[in-house]
C-alpha cells in the first residue's frame, strides 16, 4: 500500500492504549527486515532516518527504499525523519516525500524551540504531513545526537505551552531515557510521564529506548506513550548477524549472503519489539 502518515496511526494507538514501533534503518536489508517483521505480525510500522544517516546517503535513496517496501506491503508503513536538526533538513525530507517529520529544537532555548518547530509545522501541515517535536533533552550520544546539559526532563507546564504554541502533532518527552548504549539500567521518571499525559492531549513519543527493559517500556505505554523509537539495537542486531556469518564462512565474499544474515537478526529483533509495543494485529 502507499506510504501513510503518523497522524492516524498514533491517534489510533492512543485510543487503543498501545504504541507503534519506530525503527531506524541504515540500508536496504534493514528496510526489508522491518517490513517483513511488521507483515508477519500484521502491525503498523514506522521507519526513520537520522541526520547522520542522510549524510551517508541522500534522503531520496532512503525514501525510495521505504516507498518500494511499503508498496509491496499489506500493512501501513510510515517514512519519518528522526531528529531533524534544522528547518532546511526538515524541508529536504519533506520534499523527498517523507510522510512524517521530526524537528528537534530541544537544544535551543524554549522560545527558539517554539519558533523553529512552528515554522516546520506551518510548512508541513500545508500538505497534510504531521510533525513531531521534542521538549526536554534525551541524554546519551548516538550518531551526531548528544544529550545537553542542565535539567534534561520535560516540564509538564512547559509541554502544554509548547503544544499550544506550535500545533505540533506528537511530542517526544524526556523522562530519563538516553540515546546509544546504556552503561547501566535506566531510571525513568514515569510519574512525570503520567503528569504530562494528564495535561497534553496529543500522542507522546519515547526516544532512546534501545536497552530499556521491556517491562519499563510497557509501563510507559500504559501511561500514554504512543510511539516508541528503536535505533542502536537494530544496528547491533544487524552487525551480530553479519559477524556470525563471517565467522562461520570466513571466505565469503558475496554481500547478499552476509547481509541476509544481518537482515534476519534485525527482523527477529523488530518482531520482539512490536510485541512489546502491543501493536500486533493493529494494522
Which sequence positions are flagged as catalytic? 82
Instruction: List own/partner pairs for 211-218 with CB under 8 A and 24 or more apart.
Output: 211/181, 211/182, 211/186, 212/177, 212/182, 212/186, 212/188, 213/185, 214/276, 216/186, 216/188, 216/190, 217/276, 217/277, 218/276, 218/278
Whole-number Å distance between alpha carbons of 159 and 53: 29
Q: What is the grid cell recorded at 200?
A: 497534553
Whole-number Å distance between alpha carbons of 14 and 9 = 9
State the DSSP H helix or E strand holding residue 8, giving kind and residue range, or none if neither.
helix 6-16
Residue 238's CB is within 10 A of a number of other CB atoms, namely: 24
Q: Are 82 and 229 in contact (CB under 8 A)?
A: yes
Helices (H) and strands (E) in the chain, counts: 11, 11
Alpha carbons 33 and 268: distance in angstroms, whole number: 8
- Point out which residues pair with 178 in neighbouring strands: 139
Q: Residue 95: which residues within 8 A CB-CB, separation 6 or more?
A: none
Alpha-carbon separation of residue 156 from 53, 69, 92, 198, 248 (angstroms) = 32, 38, 31, 9, 52
Amino acid at each position: 500500500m502507499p506510504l501513510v502518515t503518523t497522524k492516524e496511526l498514533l491517534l489510533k494507538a492512543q485510543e487503543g492504549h498501545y504504541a507503534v514501533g519506530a525503527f531506524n534503518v541504515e540500508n536496504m536489508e534493514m528496510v526489508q527486515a522491518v517490513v517483513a517483521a511488521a507483515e508477519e505480525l500484521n502491525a503498523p510500522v514506522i521507519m526513520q532516518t537520522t541526520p547522520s544517516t542522510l549524510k551517508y546517503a541522500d534522503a531520496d535513496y532512503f525514501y525510495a527504499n521505504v516507498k518500494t517496501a511499503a508498496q509491496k506491503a499489506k500493512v501501513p508503513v510510515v517514512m519519518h525523519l528522526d531528529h531533524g536538526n534544522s528547518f532546511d533538513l526538515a524541508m529536504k525530507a519533506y520534499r523527498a516525500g517523507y510522510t512524517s517529520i521530526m524537528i528537534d529544537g530541544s537544544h535551543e532555548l524554549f522560545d527558539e524551540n517554539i519558533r523553529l518547530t512552528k515554522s516546520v509545522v506551518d510548512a508541513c501541515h500545508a500538505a497534510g504531513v504531521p510533525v513531531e517535536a521534542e521538549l526536554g533533552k534525551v541524554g546519551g550520544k548516538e550518531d551526531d545526537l548528544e544529550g545537553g546539559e542542565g535539567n534534561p526532563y520535560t516540564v509538564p507546564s512547559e509541554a502544554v505551552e509548547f503544544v499550544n504554541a506550535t500545533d505540533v502533532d506528537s511530542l517526544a518527552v524526556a523522562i530519563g531515557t538516553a540515546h546509544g548504549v546504556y552503561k547501566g539500567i535506566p531510571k525513568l521518571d514515569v510519574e512525570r510521564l503520567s503528569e504530562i499525559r494528564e495535561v497534553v492531549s496529543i500522542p507522546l513519543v519515547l526516544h532512546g529506548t534501545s536497552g530499556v527493559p521491556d517491562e519499563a517500556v510497557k509501563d510507559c505505554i500504559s501511561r500514554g506513550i504512543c510511539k516508541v523509537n528503536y535505533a542502536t539495537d537494530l544496528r547491533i542486531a544487524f552487525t551480530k548477524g553479519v559477524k556470525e556469518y563471517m565467522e562461520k564462512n570466513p571466505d565469503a565474499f558475496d554481500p547478499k549472503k552476509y547481509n541476509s544474515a544481518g537482515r534476519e537478526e534485525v527482523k527477529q529483533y523488530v518482531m520482539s519489539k512490536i510485541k512489546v509495543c502491543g501493536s500486533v494485529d493493529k494494522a
